Amino acid sequence: MIVLDFTRLLPGPLATYILAHLGFEIIKVEDTKGSDITRYTPPFTEWGESSVFSFLNAGKKSIAVDLKTDEGVEIARKLAQKSDVIVEGFRPGVMKKLGLDFDNIKKINPKIVYCSISGYGQDGQYSQKSGHDINYIALSGILKLFVSENLAVVPGVQIADISGAIFAVIGILSKLLERERDKNFSGYHIDISMTETSLFFGVESLSKFLVSKSEPEPFGEVLTGGVICYNLYKTKDGKWVSIGALEPKFWENLTKALGLDLLPSDAMSKPSEKNEAYIKLREKILSLTSEELDSILSKYDIPYEFVRSYSEAISHNVIRERKLFYSIEENGKKLELLKLPFMKEVKNISPTLGQHTTEILNKIGYSDQKIHELRQKGVIL
């Protein structure tokens, strides 16, 4: 199946990265100036390509078209006719101005699955408002989980962007399945708001709020550092260990392993300098090196794991034996990529700007002479 990808930056490209690893053919539509700024974001690979762009766009083809020209739009329309899916991430209304919106494309491709990814959705009072990940999670209430009276933390991952990508893939696959089952399927426009998708990342605390109407305490809930049995502790050699002894049996095993005389009720107590149980647990772990602690805890059934850097995680046997990372090599360029076990490996490195323009145009009926003329006029690259 063919996916026409008009997206840039992180959300859309991550969605089509996943689709590429599910076996879809991804045609990345770029303008002739290469306006996906991740192409130019350091650090760079040995061959001078952005590491972020190389990762997100591996396995895709690139066609460079000036959509500000009538001929460029006509190329996009012909590609849309032969595509199964379109993914776009412009501000709502941009594709309509180009004549490439869902309603126009559906006229020439009635079975199209069309996915729009935006910050606040395709309609409503915020549809034209600019924004980034930090703004979307601020509005959704997710960021409040990282903000207390004296501390405000910007999450280390892009919650809205990544949730938008994941739900875009889910939506696309669900509608393709519906199209396969329903002979009367008449196209579908998937409206992804990253503000809305980020809400699912707070579903545990959100579900409680919807019933109790009580706001979650930042860093103070059971699963966010509010109890001593589910928390982070520092070891003698400066490492951090995550303890997840929520269930009574795990808490019992933890206290037994560390030789601490703590009560079952201590598990759900709050970490504070007034809490003797917390101080005992913290100081005991602080008196042991990570190697010593690992040796002790590994003899019991206890949910624990040391906080690891990327280099430590990638080299860990648990990650390596699952074969999540794999390498592709093309023309002397070697790139390491990530996939889940059910995904396929892609074969080619991320494309240079317009690398497949001629190949793609040939497939939709453009002659070499016509392609040459369009290139001379600056319509394509």
Active site residue ranges: 161
Residues 116, 191: Cα–Cα separation, whole Å = 5
SS3 of residue 228 by DSSP:
coil
Q: What angle do CA 113, 166, 15 make, to 5 degrees?
A: 60
DSSP 61-130: EEEEB-TTSHHHHHHHHHHHHT-SEEEE-SPTTHHHHHT-SHHHHHHH-TT-EEEEEESS-SSSTTTT--
Q: Beta 333-338 vs 325-330: how paired, if at all? A: antiparallel
User: Tokens 């109407």, residue?
Assistant: 213
Distance (Å) of CA 101 to CA 29, 68, 93, 226 = 15, 15, 8, 47
